[in-house]
Amino acid sequence: MLDQGAPAQQSSHTASARPGAVARLMRRKPVERLVAEGGQGEGGALRRTLGLWQLTMISIGATLGTGIFVVLGEAVPKAGPAVTLSFVIAGLTALFSALSYAELAGTIPVAGSSYSYAYATMGELIAWICGWCLVLEYGVSVAAVAVGWGEYLNELLDGTIGVTIPDVLSAPPGDGGVFNLPALLVVLLAMAFLLGGAKESARANTVMVAVKIAALVLFCAIGVQGFRSGNYAHFMPLGMAGVSAAGATLFFSYIGFDAASTAGEEAKNAQRDLPRAIMLSLVIVTALYVLVAAVAVGAKPWQRFGDSEAALSQIMREVTGQSFWGTLLAFCAVIAIASVVLTVLYGQTRILFAMSRDGLVPQVFSRVHPRTGTPRANTVIVSLFCGVLAAAIPLGRLADATSIGTLFAFGLVNIAVVVLRRTRPEMPRTFRVPLSPVLPALGFGFCVWMMGSLSAVTWVVFGVWMGVGLVFYFLYGHRRSRLATPAPSEK
């Protein structure tokens, strides 16, 4: 009888020790385990080849160009001349979040960015939600920027050989076309660079970043000659609501600074260099954004900005009366925007790499090619998805969908830095957010405020996206999570 009862007692003990459903949703991944697994994938490991310069260029490459070369034409009609203020507000929102990113990147230097930070501080379900927002943030922004690239390619072709790609092949359905072929091509070009390896991609990106900075400086030097103070006579024609709405759209332009944090497992000295790269890139980008926006609105009445995504090239042509300068800027923009596609696509693949390693998405996303040290299958799958998205959906809808995913993820990062300070105060930190928890709270508040400025349609899209993500998590990720099977060292 005693022998028969023993198994029952053991079974009862095991059942009582098993965590409940809520506990499983809130299970956290230890920071030490996150760091120990850094770089490790299925069949190989990522290579640590990136220094401070390359990391900064990745951040600038992913950021600089999106708002100025592409989204400026979408934002000016919402705010008028006050679009410069919209850039400042979006920049401040990004700054508060960047401070939190910098602290967490120096403390948890891994590839998952805010997804990994949430996993270590707020549990698996919140981490999944954050990661799913990052998929929206990075993947959709690649598509959005690729759409704008096609606009500048047409400007370049028109100025050099006098022909353009017809609308049927250069615009998505709803914008007068059937399929945006240039948008697909630039994503495939970025895919080819990424398949060659992180170091090789970083070199190509550095060259492209130098070209885009030179192009924007050239624009300011020429555009200021057409500056008319009368264009600022009615600074805020649509009120503060218009400024905040434009700021929410322009926040899409600032997502690049966190691209450096996705390179945490390929950085030579991640804890030292990641915080520096994040802050340095944000300062450079914000200064250039505000300067170029101020010159652009001064040179062209704000009511005329909604007719093309290639606004800067048109301004150069109008100010000089010559097609050469507009064509030159279009050439620089083609290169510059390609670097945004390259670096943001890189960040997307590394986010999925981290999620796959944790078992939350299929294993194929964490397979590393032994020769190049890159997640090859991951890169191909993500590139094809983003390319098709870019070819089929108009720019404005893509930009707003990216902004809401970005703001949600950044809000979670501001919470995560406070939680980690309280739960693991002893951890070494190479950078600390000043005035914590005040500045993280401001960062969170700004994110919520700007999310509220987005349209109802954007919120519906976001709700549907999150619903699909939760269904996928409960049917797949929750069951296959690696945390359900502790690492050997933790048993």
pLDDT at 14 over 90: no
Distance CA 255, CA 354 (A): 19
Q: Tell me the average pLDDT of the chain.
A: 83
Q: Are the C-beta atoms of 250 and 84 separated by less than 8 Å?
A: no
**Exposed e or buried b for every residue in 143-164, given b needs 16+ CB within 10 A?**
bbbbbbbbbbbbbbbbbeeeee
Its pTM stands at 0.80
pLDDT, tens digit (0-9, with 9 covering 90-100), for 385-438 = 888 888 887 656 666 677 788 888 889 999 999 999 999 898 888 899 999 899
Structure tokens at 61: 């490459």
- Give φ, ψ of 113 to 5 degrees: 55, -140
SS3 45: strand
Under 8 Å between Cβ of 414 and 100: yes
Provide the token pair at 78.
């919402």
Residue 371 has pLDDT above 60, yes or no: yes
For residue 42, the 8-state DSSP code is B
Q: Which of 170-184, 269-283, 380-394 has the lowest mean pLDDT?
A: 170-184
Helix axes 198-223, 323-357, angle to 10 degrees: 150
On the 0-12 / 13-18 / 19+ scale of CB atoms within 10 A, 388 is middle
Would you state the pLDDT for residue 8? 41
Q: Are the beta carbons of 146 and 390 closer than 8 angstroms?
A: yes
Q: Which residues of 240-269 are buried (b: 16+ CB within 10 A; e: fewer)?
A: eebbbbbbbbbbbbbbbbbbbbbbbbbbee
358: its two tokens: 């944790």
Q: Determine the pLDDT at residue 66.
A: 60
> Using CA atoms, how far apart are residues 435 and 475, in angstroms rounded to an integer?
41
Pick from 250, 209, 243, 276: nearest CA to 406: 250
324-354 pLDDT per residue, tens: 887 888 788 788 888 888 888 888 898 999 9
pLDDT of 177 higher than 80? no
Pick the closest to residue 57 from 312, 354, 342, 251 (CA basis).
342
Here the tokens at position 274 are 């990641």
Confirm if 402 and 141 have CB atoms less than 8 A apart: yes
CA dist 50 and 273 (Å) reads 9
Residue appearing with tokens 């240039």: 182
pLDDT of residue 1: 37
Q: Is the pLDDT of residue 380 over 90?
A: yes
